[in-house]
Amino acid sequence: MTTYTGSCHCGNIAFEAEGDLTGAMACNCSICSRKGSLLWFVPRDKLRLSANRDVGTYTFNKHVIKHHFCRTCGMHPYAEANDPKGNAMAAINIRCLEGIDLKSIPVKEFDGRAI
C-alpha cells in the first residue's frame, strides 16, 4: 500500500490517502462532468486530512454524497459517502494528488447520468 499526498490548489485542504492506485473512474453525471474529476475510492479511514480550512460541502440529487471543495480556490479534492454495503468511503480526485503520472492510470467510464 502506498501513501499519496494531495491538496486543493491553495493548500487550505490537504490530505494523505493510503491505498493502491490501480485505476480511476470518470463519471458523466452533471457535477463530475463539469468538474473533470478522476475519482479513486478508498475507505474513509484511509483518508487523513492534514489541513481542513475553508471547506465547503455540496450535495445534490439524493443528497448522499458530500462533495467537498475549497471556498478559496474552488478545487474539489474529495467527496465522502457510503458504498452500497454501508462502508464509509472517500472519493479522491486524483488530479489533486502530487507526483503521479495521470497518463499511467487506467480510467473507467461510469454512466452517472443514468442513475
* Annotated domain spans of the chain: 2-114
Question: Distance between CA 2 and CA 28 in Å, rounded?
Answer: 28
Q: What is the pTM of this model?
A: 0.93
Question: Distance between CA 76 and CA 93 in Å, rounded?
Answer: 7
Amino acid at position 6, single letter: G
Q: Which fold, 2-114? A: 2.170.150
pLDDT tens digits for 78-110? 999 999 999 999 999 999 999 999 999 999 999
pLDDT at residue 111, rounded to an integer? 85
pLDDT tens digits for 10-21? 999 999 999 999
Indicate if the pLDDT at residue 22 is higher than 90. Answer: yes
Runs of H (alpha helix) within 1-94: 32-35
Higher pLDDT: 112 or 82? It is 82
Higher pLDDT: 25 or 52? It is 25
pLDDT tens digits for 31-60? 889 999 999 999 999 999 999 899 999 998
Beta bridge partners of 67: 58, 79
Question: Distance between CA 31 and CA 86 in Å, rounded?
Answer: 23
DSSP readout, 46-88? GEEEEEE-SEEEE--TTS-SEEEEETTT----EEEEE-TTS-E
